[in-house]
Structure 1
Amino acid sequence: MAETLLPSSLRYARYTPTHEDSYVHSMRQLISKDLSEPYSIYVYRYFLYQWGDLCFMAFDNDPLDPDPDSARMVGVVVCKLEPHRGGPLRGYIAMLAVKEEYRGKGIATKLVRMAIDAMADRGADEIALETEITNTAAIKLYERLGFLRSKRLHRYYLNGNSAYRLLLYLKEGVGSIRSFDPYGPPTDQNPVSPPATSLLRENGE
């Protein structure tokens, strides 16, 4: 008999280092299953040590088990927040994953909303991410939340797949904020759309 997933059994939590070992292990298992390219433990620590408060997790609690630590992780979003090339304060959704049998239940949307709210509370001007152009479910999810396609990145992933860069502007006029690149060619005047760089990718429902 197929397992029935009860909405009341789901709970969401912000990452804390208290359970770092078990959390990181569960994250790696969840994210690496469908990811376009593998990440080492150091990549997870890079994000969690600096921006752990921007990481949110979804758990499925067995309603008959009183121990909350027995819950299994079924979704996660990992982010960072820092100035982008001397310009706007940019949030970045680096990883998003939801366990396959839990997709279509709004978990990814809930996690992304929590991440957006957390980054907005910390003063983010905009939020960026990349996703494979074939990941139509993720693209639809982000566009429903107000993200816009900014650029197509040819053969962006190690597997040769291309990606879309998506941007969400949180403050009026941010799309015309000029980003200063000290290594770029000299420019004379007038705003341009902020260029974007990436560190990691995402996957999810």
Structure 2
Amino acid sequence: TMEPAQAEGKLQEAKLESEATATSDDDSGISYTQYEGEHQLHHIQKLIEKDLSEPYSIYTYRYFLNNWPNLCFMAWSNGACVGTIVCKLDQDKKRKNRGYIAMLAVEKSHRKRGIGSKLVKLAVKVMIEEKADMVVLETEITNKGALSLYANLGFVRDKRLHKYYMNGVDAFRKKLWLTPPDE
């Protein structure tokens, strides 16, 4: 029999996998695609610069997009990019595979339609396939929309990071366990 934490991890994994169907259109007219290459970078950059408080250089985008293109997804509506997620997968100090959500943005006019959740689920599905043990991210403590979205997806608050962002705002580090945490 499985331990409760192990069962919870498997349940979370199954839930995320079943909800993250492939990149086809859904009934809202939004389609989802994996990042294809440099010709899409300006869409991602434009959306994120409008939305997030941190200024990122072109090199930061390329670091993520060139190394982990399979962990970047875009949401499209009528030919316009209305949402994006940019992630990576690496190993933590204990040599466990750890997914990291670096950037998530949804056009203001398209919020509250499940696009952000769907983008996270698509990225986490790939992280599960790549044997990630957990997913980590930071978000501003004042970003109620992001905090709510991640809580609804099963992310838990790990710690508060004092003046984490350049604008002086604190951040919460949030984690989603995909396998049971080590004791």
1:96 aligns with 104
Unaligned runs of 5+ in 1: 1-5, 62-70, 177-190, 192-205
Deviant stretches of 4+, over 3 Å? none
Of structures 1 and 2, the larger Rg is shown by: 1
Q: 1:124-163: per-residue Cα shift (whole Å, max 9, x none)?
A: 0000000000111111111111100000001000000000
Q: Is 1:161 paired with 2:181?
A: no
The amino acid of 1:59's aligned partner reads W
Q: Secondary structure at the match of 2:83?
A: strand
Q: Give the Cα separation in 2 of the matches to 1:32 and 1:7.
A: 28
Q: 1:157-193: per-residue Cα shift (whole Å, max 9, x none)?
A: 0000000000000012x2x2xxxxxxxxxxxxxx5xx
2:125 aligns with one of 101, 117, 121 = 117
Question: What is the CA-CA distance between 1:16 and the residue it aligns to?
Answer: 1.4
Q: Percent identity?
A: 51
Q: How many residues align?
A: 158
Unaligned runs of 5+ in 2: 1-25
The amino acid of 2:72's aligned partner reads C
- What is the 5 A alignment of 1:114-193? 114-172=122-180, 174=181, 176=182
Q: Give the Cα separation in 2 of the matches to 1:167 and 1:139.
A: 12
2:32 aligns with 12
Question: What is the CA-CA distance between 1:86 and the residue it aligns to?
Answer: 3.8
More helix by share: 2
Q: Give the Cα separation in 2 of the matches to 1:160 and 1:75.
A: 26
Q: TM-score, normalised by structure 2?
A: 0.83
Q: Is 1:25 paired with 2:42?
A: yes
Q: Give the Cα separation in 1 of the matches to 2:146 and 2:177.
A: 18
The amino acid of 1:14's aligned partner reads Q
The amino acid of 1:116's aligned partner reads V
Q: Secondary structure at the match of 2:179?
A: coil
Q: Give the Cα separation in 2 of the matches to 1:82 and 1:129.
A: 13
The amino acid of 1:151's aligned partner reads K
Q: 1:70-114: per-residue Cα shift (whole Å, max 9, x none)?
A: x11000000000101243210000000000100011100000010
2:57 aligns with one of 40, 46, 49 = 40
Q: TM-score, normalised by structure 1?
A: 0.74
Q: Is 1:84 paired with 2:92?
A: yes
RMSD, aligned CA:
1.3
